[in-house]
Amino acid sequence: MYEILSRKDCRMIFDPLRFARPEHNLALLYEPDTIRFEQAEIELNDEGQNKRLSVLRAEDSGRTYYNAGFPHFDSRQKSRAKSYYLFASAHAEPQFFAPEQKCKYHELFSEMDAAEESVRNRIYSHLLDSRNYGKRLSARIIDNKPHIFMETYNYDDPESGEYYQMDYCGGFYTFTVSDRSRFMEMYLPRRRYAQIFGGCNATVTERYSSASDITDAIARIRQNGSYEDRRMLPRMAHRIQAFHRMQADIQMMQRKLKNGKAHIRSREQFCSCDAGAKYVAAMEIMMLYHAEKAFHCENLNHFDWQEKCVEFYRRSQKRLFFGFVTGEQSGSAEKIW
């Protein structure tokens, strides 16, 4: 039998890229896939030999900050289920165990899983609540339409427990009030949200399309409102202020997206501004969308691409970026936003 010497908890890997230039990769700022974890480890003494037991997750294999949010980008990699591996020494090959495999360490597998799930849940729970962030602002293409959206908590009247959201799409603003944070429901595709966080359960209590809608609501309450409704009037005044603040923030983000100071995803995450290295960005983006065949370059290697792709990339950079996202064959950042 073995003796447990020490335990190392599952820990989040702190990634400075998330903080470097947050507006350059809006799609990555709150993306759960960018959060990586260092797996739990158990050090044990098994019949006089020190060994280390840890977990290997297939979905973490090959995952980087850059491909976060995309399905497993390298289909050539053999997919592996989760396994547990045991290191006996630095020179020996690790021994792998499948989760269902019966072995003398089997009872430790569920312990490590529970510890990891607990850390993951705790970290993910922060993502779900905009109260932890002050305000959150992002942009995404939803149903082929560009949206810029924002959420903040009603910090002026926290007893209300209200969250304010604003969504800008097609020239129209929609301001909603809800009892829970709904930012991640807009930030992630619905299926991914359900997969990671379960069902949506926030209730939209009010919806306005302009500040004057709120003003009209206030006027109606003043005229015909009940005693309870009149008590809400100061809270309604907060909503008008919030509407204007959020509208200003969204307009600023819109300008930044138009003039390239902000991006949903920036190609600069793959490379520096060095022109010679831009082919790397083109190739990486190609692979993210599994588009090698469409561009007839399945068999090309990096060096063949160098000359061809730099020029192609320079000519078609904006079209290339928005052609895949919107489905249109042409489009520019200025036109989209």
Residues in contact with another protein by the rule CB under 8 A: 4, 9-14, 16, 19, 38, 111, 114-115, 117-119, 121-123, 126, 131-134, 153, 155-159, 161, 228, 231, 234-235
Q: Closer to another protein by CB, 205 or 316: give it.
A: 205
Strands (E), the chain: 2-8, 11-13, 36-38, 41-46, 49-56, 83-87, 95-97, 135-142, 145-153, 163-169, 172-178, 204-208
Nearer to another protein, 114 or 294 (CB): 114
We find the least distance from the C-beta atom of residue 107 to another protein, in angstroms, to be 10
Cβ closest to another protein, residue 123 vs residue 252: 123
CB closer to another protein out of 135 and 140: 135
Residue placing its CB nearer to another protein in the complex, 1 or 273 = 1
Minimum CB–partner distance for residue 9 and another protein (Å): 6
Distance CA 10, CA 60 (A): 14
- From the list 127, 141, 129, the residue with the least C-alpha distance to 34 is 127
> Tokens 């995309």 correspond to what residue?
70
Which CB, 158 or 327, lies closer to another protein?
158
**336 phi and psi angles, rounded to 5 deg:** -65, -45
CB-nearer residue toward another protein: 103 or 114? 114
Q: How far is the CB of 117 from another protein (least distance, A)?
A: 7
Cβ-based burial of 257 (10 A; exposed 0-12, middle 13-18, buried ≥19):
buried
Nearest-approach distance from CB 302 to another protein, in angstroms: 30
The minimum distance between CB 282 and another protein, in angstroms, equals 30
CB of 228 to another protein, least distance (A): 7
Residues 6+ apart with CB under 8 A from 159: none
Question: Which residue reads 């959201």 in tokens?
Answer: 165
How does DSSP assign 122-191, residue by residue?
Answer: HHHHHHT-GGGTSEEEEEEEETTEEEEEEEEE-TTSGGG--EEEEEEETTEEEEEEESS--HHHHHS-HH
Q: Which is nearer to another protein, 130 or 269 (CB)?
A: 130
CB distance 204 to 186 below 8 Å: no
Distance in Å, CB of 284 to another protein, minimum? 25
Q: How far is the CB of 160 from another protein (least distance, A)?
A: 8
Question: What is the C-alpha to C-alpha distance for residues 306 and 281, in angstroms, rounded to an integer?
Answer: 11
164 Cβ contact partners less than 8 Å away, ≥ 6 residues apart: 151, 152, 153, 154, 175, 176, 177, 239, 242, 246
Least spacing, CB of residue 290 vs another protein, in Å: 32
Q: What count of residues does the chain have?
A: 337
Nearer to another protein, 37 or 295 (CB): 37
